[in-house]
Each structure stands twice: as C-alpha cells, then as structure tokens.
Amino acid sequence: MQKPNFLTGEEAAKMIKNGSTIATIGMTLVSASETILKAIEQRFLTTGSPNTLTLVHSCGQSDRDRGIQHFAHEGMLQRIIGGHWGLQPRMMKLISENKILAYNIPQGQFAQLYRSMAGGEPGKITKVGLGTYIDPRIDGGKMNDITKTAPDIVDIVSIDGEEYMRYKPIPLDYCIIRGTYVDEMGNLTTDEEAMQLEVLSAVLACKKFGGKVIAQAKYKVKNGSLHCKQVIVPGIFIDVVVLCPTPEEDHRQTHSFSFDPAYCGDIKVPASSDDILEMNLRKVIGRRALMELHINDVLNVGTGIPNDVVGPILAEESISDDVTITVESGIYGGIPLGGVDFGIAKNNFALLRHDDQFDYYNGAGVDITFMGAGEIDPDGNVNATKLGPNPTGAGGFIDITTNAKHVVFCSSFTGKGLDCSFEDGKLHINHEGSLIKFVNKVQQISYNGKIARKKHQKMHYITERAVFELQPEGLVLTEIAPGIDLQTQILDLMEFTPIISENLQEMKPEIFSATIPYGLKEFIKKH
C-alpha cells in the first residue's frame, strides 16, 4: 500500500500550479485547512504564484478573516464557483467589483454534485433552482456582470416531459480536506471535527479527474491504531498530509474555540444561563415564527435570525423534545450556535454527512423551515441572496425552501437603524429603519412565490410588527403587533399595498413580554 507524503504547509503550497481548479471542504471556520490555505496565500503574495486559480467550495468557509478569505486576492483567483460568501467580505468585494468570474450553486446541490462527479455521472439533475436566479433562463447563478458572457455551468434538461436543472461536473486538480487523526498510511478520521461534511465525496470526485488530495491533520498515530469505522477517507486516496504545527490557531474546531467536546458529540452538557436570550427584536420574531410549529414537527433553521434564536427559544419553552431541530450541516437535535459558528450544535443526538442531509431536504423535505430574508415582493418572491451590492449567495436556502412543506421567513420589517422596545405586551418603534424590505420587485429571486403557490406550498413572512401569508391570490397581511398603526407603521413603509385579510388579527401580547416561558408549548399543543 502506497503511503502519502508528509509535508509542511509550505511544501504542499508549492504543488499548486497556475490555472488549477481547487476544491476546499469546510463550513464557516469548521474544518478549514488553515495551515495549507495560509501557505498558499503566502506563496502568492511572495512569488505571484499560484495565480489564475479556480476555487470551488460548497459552503461559506470563513469567519470574515480566515478560511478561503486567504484566496481573496486579485490575480490569485480567476474564477470562483461557490455556495455562499456571507462571511467573506473581501471575496464579495472582488465579485461585486468584477475582479473575478463568480458562479453560485445551491449548497446542497454542490455537496451532492461531488457525489455525482465521483460516480462519473453527467452532473447533478434536480428541480432545485428552477425559477430562481440559478435557472439559466434567468441568471444561471452568475453573480456579476463579467460572468454574464462566460460559459454556463448549469442547463435545463427534459426527462419524461418535465424540466430539470443539470449542474455540470467541474474537473478538479486538487482537493484540500481536514481531519483529526491520520495514521502512517494516510487513513484519516474526523473525530474532533464539529461536522462530517462531504469530505469523501469531494475526494473521490477529485480522484475521478486525476487530481491530487491534500489533507491537514491534527495528530499522527501509528498504523493500525485507528478503528476501521473511524476512518472517513482511506489513505489510498490521499496524496499529501500536512500536520498542523499550531492547532490552537490553525486547526480550530470553530471560530469561537479551539476544541470543545460538546460540539463533536463526545459529551453532553447541562443547560446554562448563556442559552437564555435577552429580550430583543430577533427574539420577538423568533417567538412568533415558532407559533407555526406542530408537535412532532421536524424543522430546519437557516442562518441569521432563525439559527440565532430558534434553538434557545425551544430550550426556554421546554419543547426541545416535542420537535426535532435540524441544520443543513447534518445536525439533529441540540442547541445550534449562530453567527460565525453557524452549522454546529451542542447536545445534538445525530450528526449526518453534509451531502446525506440534503437527500432528506431535497427529497421528503422538512415539515417546516425557518429562514432569513431580505426583500419580498407582491407575488411572494423573496430575495435572500443579494442584498445591496453584496452577493452573499444561496447557501442551503434554495435547496431547503424548494421542498419544505412550510416555509417561514423571519426578518425585521425595515432595516438600517430600526430600534424597538417592548412594554405592557406592546411593540414600540423608537427609531424607524431607513431600508424598505417590501418592494415592488426583488433584486434577485431566491424563492419563487408563483411556483410555491402552484404547488400549494405553505409560506409565512414574519416580522416584529406584521405577519404575512402567501395565499392563492398573493401576499396577505394577516396580523399586526399591538401598539402598531396599520397605515403609518406598515402600509406607508411598503412599496406596494398587500392584500389585507378580512380577519386581520392582533399578534399575541405574550410574544412581546419578557416572561419565560411565554406559552409556546401550550399554544402548539392546541395548534
């Protein structure tokens, strides 16, 4: 059996040739191969090579500073094909300024595209993406002007008279992965990683195209000391191993900490005061959103407001055992972390591979998903992927909202400067936001309201002061917060006039109270 070469990060960086296509595996800072990525960046800054690279990644892999931000240099990158850039300000700047070609593929389709590539299939064929900006008849996932005339990486195929998206294979020259233990033969585990991700699928996809696999590991162990079920990638598929010399800095479990056994399932920890949310606008939105739950629902939470508040609210209300929370990274149960640590959770009872999780999301679909959003129009179209000049990308948004039985979008009613307070079960607007979110036409269609209505998908759009429901006739205002004036604090702050329900109701005052619990368990039992 052939052994991999054990090299330093600097030596591995010298392998990368100009014009190469490189796949990196990770989410936020989880499983980011910092030792290798930093070395590649430093070589470019010092020598000008490697340059004109194509970077391929399914997830957002950064904490606003590290991760694939190391590739965010003009000249170093020629093209990026990615899933999400919300935590990559320098990369978004390169994209918005037309310094690189930029394509966006929905995260779940990307993770599974590796699997299709590995098996020699003609791409990933699915209905996910139809009618959104990923559709080649709209934008084809092209995120800036210079990419508009570049070749398509998606197309439309017809099977048995039905339309499908085809995400085309992407030949890979290198694949950069990370694990915990590696033995002398290169067998790699992910014991201390907070996610399983799609590591093996990407490795096999790379091998299909004759590429090289470079793995960063935390510990080297004697051959034969790893249990066969621990091994995620057999050593025969790994060409180079880089042992991280500074794990606390460059092999962190996530952005916030070097290693915590609770986030890789080694231990369970008791609830703490840190899990209690302060009373604020985001909590109010989350409280009302969760009133759409039913007992035994399987739910998903997306980035932003949902991931930051849903898990803690469920814990506060003692209903974590009555529903099952999931996250696109493969999490089932527990309390997810938010912000730059999105995608991990403590006390979860199961952790699936990233690409396997999307088999569920894209197939059966969750009972209900809670997603962030930026703009909505009269047809119920939602933009959550390009806000102002920033091309954040889809992440798992399109995958999950396409097939969820019920989609609940969570957002403040206005943006930029909105300040609220809560007193006597009422909402008070101290300072109105200057950004209008209910617009005549969304900047980018991330969720297609017309398609949703055609397939009778249930959808709510929930803010701190108003609740809207997508009905056959269009977007309908169904609830307003106590203390809010319909005309001046809702209708006057919209570019269009929604349909107003004949049975317009007031949001429950308990939502705006600091009392814990606020009564969610009792409500959903009656729901």
Distance between CA atoms of residues 239 and 400, nearest Å? 35
Q: Is the pLDDT of residue 274 over 90?
A: no
**Residue 391, preceding peptide bond in cis (omega within 30° of 0):** no
Q: Is the CB of residue 169 less than 8 Å from the CB of residue 317?
A: no
CA dihedral 408, 412, 416, 420 (to 10 degrees): -160
Q: Is the pLDDT of residue 468 over 80?
A: yes
CATH architecture of the region 5-250: 3-Layer(aba) Sandwich (3.40)
Q: 78 is written with which tokens? A: 């020629």
Q: Is the pLDDT of residue 527 over 80?
A: no
Mean pLDDT of 203-224: 98
pLDDT at 270: 84
**Per-residue pLDDT reduced to its tens digit, 383-424:** 999 988 889 999 999 999 999 999 999 999 999 999 999 998
**Per-residue pLDDT reduced to its tens digit, 415-451:** 999 999 999 899 999 999 999 999 999 999 999 999 9
Mean pLDDT of 301-311: 92
% of residues, the chain, pLDDT over 90:
94
Domain covering 273-526 in this structure, CATH number: 3.40.1080.10
Q: Is the CB of residue 25 less than 8 Å from the CB of residue 82?
A: no
Orientation angle between helical segments 199-208 and 107-118, nearest 10 degrees: 50
Region of 171 (left: φ > 0; alpha: ψ -120 to 50; beta: rest) is beta
- Per the prediction, the chain carries an average pLDDT of 96
Mean pLDDT of 74-99: 97
Distance between CA atoms of residues 159 and 126, nearest Å? 11
Catalytic residue list contains 278: no
Q: Is the pLDDT of residue 90 over 60?
A: yes
- Domain ranges (residues) in the chain: 5-250, 273-526
Which has the minimum average pLDDT: 235-239, 258-262, 274-278? 274-278
Q: Is the pLDDT of residue 290 over 80?
A: yes
The band of 273, judged by pLDDT with boundaries at 50, 70 and 90, is: low
Q: Is the CB of residue 167 less than 8 Å from the CB of residue 81?
A: no
Comparing CA positions, the residue from 7, 11, 3 lying closest to residue 184 is 3
pLDDT at 526: 82
Identical fold, 5-250 and 273-526: yes
Q: 47 is written with which tokens? A: 């020598």
**Interacting residues of 163 by C-beta distance below 8 A, sequence separation 6+:** 127, 130, 156, 157
Q: Is the pLDDT of residue 156 over 90?
A: yes
The band of 329, judged by pLDDT with boundaries at 50, 70 and 90, is: very high
Q: Is the CB of residue 252 less than 8 Å from the CB of residue 219?
A: no
pLDDT at 77: 98
Position with higher pLDDT, 337 vs 230: 230
* pTM for the whole structure: 0.95
Catalytic residue among 34, 41, 316, 328: 328
The band of 2, judged by pLDDT with boundaries at 50, 70 and 90, is: confident
Q: 85 is written with which tokens? A: 């850039």
pLDDT at 10: 98
SS3 190: coil
The band of 108, judged by pLDDT with boundaries at 50, 70 and 90, is: very high
Q: Is the pLDDT of residue 123 over 80?
A: yes
Distance between CA atoms of residues 88 and 350, nearest Å? 29
SS3 394: coil
Mean pLDDT of 470-491: 97
pLDDT at 388: 84
pLDDT at 339: 86
By CB atoms closer than 10 A (0-12, 13-18, 19+), residue 15 is middle
